[in-house]
Structure 1
Amino acid sequence: MTNFRRGCQTLCRYLLLPLLCVMGQLAHAATMSHPEQLIDATQQFLEQAVADYLRRGDIQARHEIIVNRLDPRLRLAQCDQPLDAKLGTAAQPIGRVTVRISCEGSSPWSVFVPAQVRLYRPVIVANRSLLRDSLLSEADVSLAERDVSNLTQGYLTRMDEVLGNKLTRPVQPDQVIAPNQLELAEVVRKGDQVVITARSGTINVRMPGEAMADGAPGKQIPVKNQRSGRVVKARVTGPGHVEVAM
């Protein structure tokens, strides 16, 4: 009988010890925050942040959020308060961002989770190779969806922003047209007959003149006053019109 009892005790120890270890591990795991929880918190925060960004800017676009994988061995104390999330250094929730997930509970901690937010919008692209000084027409450009989160030089979303303007550098097919690649086309050519308007308050004086250089709207060019023969600096205001201050 004694041998039987001892055998039972030994068997119980062998059976219960692994079970107790597993139960201990499960209890410990229940008190930890896992990488999946941090990824979910980051995803939810960025979804709301992007929605707010689009609403504030009245932007029509679709987006895609990719949260980087975290080390599966990462373990943090289970937070007894709702997790707090905020953007790291980025001013806007677009492009490569870092989200700070933190716990302000009894066992505080914080971790930075990297992610990428792609924002897709229709933007102006070149239909073909275009040379510098090309005047853009509807045959040259079109709208195509692109990820604008990495377009650091900017982009344009309306055809009227580019048509009739001139390229300042060559572009390749499918290349996004940036604002700094455009300038206003000349509306006055050297030798054109122009109307010179001199303004002073409510007084306007007009006189005939001759453009001595090409000019786009807003640009100053030399203009010869055909009455006096004097050459003055005048600002181009439109086709055939320039303005000087009195």
Structure 2
Amino acid sequence: MRFITGCAVLAIFFSASASANPLIDQLIGVTSTYLEQEVTQYASTLGGEPRHEVQISRLDARLRLPLCAEDALSAQLESPEIPVGRVTVRVTCNGPSPWRLFVPAQVSLYQQVVVSTRPLQRKSVISAQDIRLAERDTGLLGNNYLLDPAQAIGMQMKRNVNADTVLGHAQLEQNRLVQRGDKVVISAGNSSVNVRMPGEALEDGTLGAQIRVRNTRSNRVVRARVTGPGQVEVGM
């Protein structure tokens, strides 16, 4: 089987009607049909039937290989694992003169993702008024986007962002209710007794996190669970 490497393709988008090479037309047809089927099936698993677009990259017009019978022609996604974004399709001819080509394409999948409604500052905590849903091409976003506003509310900004910025895990982190050096109230108790002591946080902590704190009365260091801003709890 003849194996055609990447030198046979050029990553320049084009109109399919511009091709005068029957082989190019055949490759465009089989790749487009395959990707349409794959992205439609993938989109159906996401709910809401998000719209999509498929653009095949230009192939080298100098490419000369025998046409392949339709029943001997097959296509398979080479990379990535899902048919969204920049993809490569392996087209194989298993006819009397076999060959294999890799065809690049761009698959756009438009979904409602979380974006900022206004500029947000580093360390600010996200509220419902700070975000909204807007349609974006997730094929251009990698994995850095959120589909549910609840995933962002209560999170803390890692860096400054402008209005209308897509928010994802790269921009967000758990809200630190306690930071190293903060004065905290240490609570210890059970159903019959509750003791409160002053302390100092020795580590940053998010809600529910276990951090080291120093009891400023006894100077003893203990591990305590963060229960709220400036509040930690130890077991008895």
Q: TM-score, normalised by structure 2?
A: 0.74
| In 1, Cα distance between equivalents of 2:27 and 2:130 | 47
Amino acid at match of 2:213: P
Note if 1:36 corresponds to 2:28. no
Which position in structure 2 is the counterpart of 1:179? 169
One-letter amino acid of the counterpart of residue 24, structure 2:
P
Count of paired positions: 210
In the other structure, the counterpart of 1:208 is 196
Q: Which residue number corresponds to residue 65 of structure 1? A: 54
Structure 2 SS opposite 1:106: coil
Q: Structure 1 length normalisation: TM-score?
A: 0.71
Alignment deviations for residues 128-156 of structure 1 (CA, whole Å, 9 cap, x no partner): 22211112222322111111112236111
Equivalent of 1:99 in 83, 89, 95: 89
Whichever residue aligns with residue 87 of structure 2, its letter is V
Q: Deviations over 1:21-62 (max 9, x none)?
A: xxxxxxxxxxx9521121010011111222333345668532
1:220 aligns with 2:211: yes
Select 2:103's aligned residue among 109, 113, 117. 113
CA distance in 1, matches of 2:184, 2:170: 28
| Contact in 2 for aligned 1:33/1:76 (Cα 8 Å) | no
| Equivalent residue letter for 1:85 | A
2:187/2:234 contact within 8 Å kept: no
Q: Distance in 2 between matches of 1:115 and 1:215?
A: 45
1:88 is paired with a residue of what secondary structure?
strand
Higher relative contact order (CA 8 A, sep 6+): 2
Please say if 1:195 is aligned against 2:183.
no
Aligned to 2:12: none
User: What are the within-5 Å matches in structure 2 for residues 24-173 of structure 1?
Assistant: 34-56=23-45, 61-80=50-69, 81-152=71-142, 154-173=144-163
SS in 2 for 1:38: helix
Hey, what's the Cα distance between the residues in 2 that align with 1:99 and 1:128? 40
Question: Relative to structure 1, is the Cα distance of residues 46 and 230 closer, same or farther in structure 2, using a 3 angstrom cutoff?
Answer: same
Larger strand share, 1 or 2: 2
User: Which ranges of structure 1 fall in alignment gaps of 5 or more residues?
Assistant: 1-31, 199-204
How far off its partner does 1:107 sit? 1.4
Q: Once the two structures are aligned, what percentage of the paired residues are identical?
A: 42
Query: CA RMSD, aligned part only?
Result: 3.2
Three-state SS of the structure 2 residue aligned to 1:139 is helix
Which one-letter code corresponds to 1:38 in the other structure?
Answer: L
Q: Max radius of gyration: which structure?
A: 1
Distance 2:232 2:183 in 1: 13
Structure 2 partner of 1:233: 223
Task: Single out whichever of 76-85 and 108-117 deviates more from structure 2.
Answer: 76-85
Q: Which amino acid aligns with 1:52?
A: Q
Contact kept in structure 1, 2:184 and 2:231, CA below 8 Å:
no
Deviates more, 1:215-224 or 1:50-59: 50-59
Give the number of the structure whose residues are more often helix, by fraction: 1
